[in-house]
């Protein structure tokens, strides 16, 4: 019975036209060779508050640094 389904599926024009495409492979980042070569920065806000946070992660060492931000001033962010 499985072979019959495969035959019908492989010859059906609509099945071929609407068949699922192959899964795409995820692009991998190159590994970091030294400290602070590549960092990831995320900014978020606590639910229902005016307080935000900034999270910075170094790709080489895996070090994670977090900082609370009371205000989102550009000068304040640059001085962190």
Where do the domains of the chain lie?
A: 35-80
In degrees rounded to 5, what are phi and psi of residue 57?
-130, 130
22-69 tens-digit pLDDT: 788 888 888 899 999 999 999 888 888 878 888 999 999 999 999 888
pLDDT value of residue 42: 92
CB of 75 closer than 8 Å to CB of 58: no
Whether the per-residue pLDDT at 1 is higher than 80: the answer is no
Does residue 19 register a pLDDT over 70?
A: yes
Q: pTM here?
A: 0.55
pLDDT of residue 70: 77
């Amino acid at each position: 019975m499985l072979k019959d389904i495969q035959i019908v599926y492989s010859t059906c024009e609509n099945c071929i036209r609407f068949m699922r495409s192959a899964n795409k492979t995820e692009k991998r980042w190159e590994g970091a060779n030294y400290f602070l070569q590549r960092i990831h920065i995320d900014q978020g806000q606590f639910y229902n508050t005016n307080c935000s946070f900034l999270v910075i992660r170094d790709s080489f060492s895996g070090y994670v640094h977090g900082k609370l931000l009371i205000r989102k001033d550009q000068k304040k962010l640059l001085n962190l």
